[in-house]
Amino acid sequence: MDDNVAFMELSALLTGLYDPLLNDPEDRAFNEPIGEEYARRLRGTYPTEFPILLKAYKAVANVTPQLKINDALLAMLRARPDFMSNQMVAKQIVNVWYSRSATIRRVFISLTVGSTNKAQCARDVPNLWIVGSSVFTTSATANPTLTIAALTLRTASAIDRALR
């Protein structure tokens, strides 16, 4: 199993955000680059613990027949000593996705809500790209740097595609 796939599945398992992280193709396409950036930063912050947590998830998820991502799988993961010794990283994963979901997700619920699209391009002014926390529907309760960085990367890619 690829580390990015494992991280997205682990994130969905820990947070319960199954639709935006796994089930809905459009939301998943939006969240995968953000997940890659979160995983990269978690690897940098927890260079020993993060790989151990991913390995623990892969050990319980890579069985035949494949188990559903649900509370039973979460209980199996929580029973592992390598998960128990790395709970801080698991908590950071939950914090990252819930912080992001509490602020940004509301902007993108539908195409008629919010002033920007998923790439942070203004709906009313063509070719106006908004980068930063000004697209948040509420103020952040925690440091939004990771979210802003991930959204900036997504916007830069969209601008690059628009200019081609």
Q: What is the mean pLDDT of residues 100-129?
A: 62
Which domain, by its residues, includes 14? 3-163
pLDDT digits (tens, 9 = 90+) for 50-89: 999 999 999 998 876 777 777 888 888 999 999 989 888 8
Identity at 164, one-letter amino acid code: R
Matching residue, tokens 């697209």: 135
Q: How far apart are CA 79 and CA 60, in angstroms?
A: 10
pLDDT (0 to 100) of residue 53: 93
Residue 102 has pLDDT above 50, yes or no: no
Overall domain count for the chain: 1
Q: Is the pTM of this model over 0.85?
A: no
pLDDT digits (tens, 9 = 90+) for 12-38: 888 887 777 788 888 788 888 888 888
Question: What burial letters (b/e) apply to 112-125, b meaning 16+ CB within 10 Å?
Answer: eebebebbbbeeee
Residue 104 has pLDDT above 50, yes or no: no
Bridge-partner residues for 129, per DSSP? 121
Enter the DSSP assignment of 127: T
pLDDT (0 to 100) of residue 24: 81
